[in-house]
Structure 1
Amino acid sequence: PLAYHSCSMFRGELFVLGGVFPRPNPEPDGCSDSLYIFDPQLSIWYQPIVTGDKPSPRSGHSACVMQERYIYVFGGWDTPVCYNDMYKLDLGLMEFSVVKTSGKAPSPRSWHGSAVLSETKFLIHGGYNGNNALSDTFVFNT
């Protein structure tokens, strides 16, 4: 079981990335860097072979499907680290790559909201940096 993962719909399948999985006490819960896909037509879960620079294990991140070809993953948390990195999963190649952004970068955060604005733009808003709630908004142009 996972919690605090991202879930994105692409071509009728659910792409579940990362999240927290329980561990027996007293060990703290751990974060996952796995990608699972659910095919509702066949009622099956499977794990694709993914190459490239995968995001580190995390939870509380966001994921947006863009241009009917990519999933952009931003931020997240793996105690005690909060992230502000971005990755792109090419859904045709099943390959991750690091996205280099320009301009003022958002501070590290988790539990933020994200929304697709257009074919090439998405935003992230708010979140939590490990100490405080955030209320800023950033727009990314892919």
Structure 2
Amino acid sequence: MGGEIPPSMSGMCGCVLKGHMYIFGGCGDDGQTNEHYLVDLNDGRYFWEKIRHHSGFLPSPRDKFSCWVYKSRIIYFGGYGHKLLSEINNPRTFIVDEASWAEDIFWGWNNEVHVFDSETKSWNCPTTSGRAPAPRAAHASATINNKGYVCGGRKMETRTSDIYYLDLDTWTWSEIVPTTTVPQGRSWHTLTAVSETSLFLYGGLSMDCRPMSDGWMFDLKTKGWTEMKHLDMDKPRLWHTACLGRDSDVIVFGGSHEYIILVDSGHCNDILVFQTHPYSLVRLCEDFIASHTNIFQTQVTCLPLKLRQAVEKRTAFFQSVKKTQKVYRTME
């Protein structure tokens, strides 16, 4: 990749909007930043560009925050960062963690909402109403239609699993009070929208700083949490990423399986796939054929082109899984 390449950072926030990948903020060698970059994923050049905003006020430097993508806008929420004392004008939107002894700088958590318009390259800070989440960082968020959901995260010395949403048209906050047992409080987890009415939560760091591997489904209609049993209970993750795959699968990549301070020894580069909904008969047949290619080699070549390509993709997946499992057995 070329162009104005961003510096090495952690805890930045990334998203894709209209074929462009945006990253904002993060923490580097010199602390938190509020720099903004994009790269065009369509032209095949993959050149980074530093965004020079045209109007509005940049959010203060921060990391460990999240965003929602809606229409042509990126809406950023929360995080941990620093401000000058003169910039702290509301204790309900910025909670001080510590202060610098050398300068008039304060670090802390916020629950601010900042909007970046990708068409005008301008910033604005909308006035929100309703019951807003407490200032937090290392939380998780997801977007469904015109609502941005936020779940959990670290609030000062505690971690939570509360869930709120922001109406991205009216800028009204609402808290969702669950009707069932809730997951234990956590940070560094992921929240993925898997349908119009359901969210999938995975992993994170517990209150006692323990990496977790539990998965939970949240039903927006019943407002209930359901713990989901899966095959990767022995693979805890925190600080990972997750995205929606085919047939409502959730694909988890990266992160750490160790406590955050030990992250250098706990990096993960394997991919976890979680089935959140029943598969269609077509998907079940594809998977069965792809996992038994030694039986169906002759028949696969006779399939219609589109179906054959789908089976070949699944075959490549199952072969890679077998290869990885073989490597693990050899290492053991």
- Determine if the TM-score, normalized by the shorter chain, exceeds 0.5: yes
1:3-82 equivalences in 2 (<5 Å): 3-22=63-82, 24-26=99-101, 29-66=107-144, 68-82=145-159
Deviations 1:3-62 (A, max 9, x none): 010111111210100001136535873001100010011111110110000001000111
User: Could you state the TM-score of these two structures normalised by the residue count of structure 2?
Assistant: 0.41
CA distance in 2 between partners of 1:80 and 1:94 (Å): 28
Residue matched to 2:185? 108
What value does the CA root-mean-square deviation take over the aligned residues?
1.5
The answer to whether 1:123 aligns with 2:200 is yes
Amino acid at match of 1:87: Y
Greater relative contact order, per chain length (Cα 8 Å cut-off, separation 6+): 1
Large movers: runs of 4+ above 3 Å: none
Residue matched to 2:62? 2
Larger relative strand fraction: 1
Which piece of structure 1 moves more, 16-25 or 89-98? 16-25
Amino acid at match of 1:16: Y
Larger relative helix fraction: 2
5+ residue gaps in structure 1? none
CA distance in 1 between partners of 2:130 and 2:119 (Å): 29
CA distance in 2 between partners of 1:100 and 1:65 (Å): 19
Max radius of gyration: which structure? Answer: 2
5+ residue gaps in structure 2? 1-60, 84-98, 221-332
The alignment covers a number of residue pairs equal to 141
Asked whether the 8 Å contact 2:65–2:79 carries over to 1, the reply is yes
Amino acid at match of 2:197: T
Taking only the aligned residue pairs, the percentage that are identical comes to 27
Match of 2:161 among 59, 72, 84: 84
CA distance in 1 between partners of 2:123 and 2:67 (Å): 13
CA distance in 1 between partners of 2:156 and 2:177 (Å): 24
CA distance in 2 between partners of 1:22 and 1:100 (Å): 31
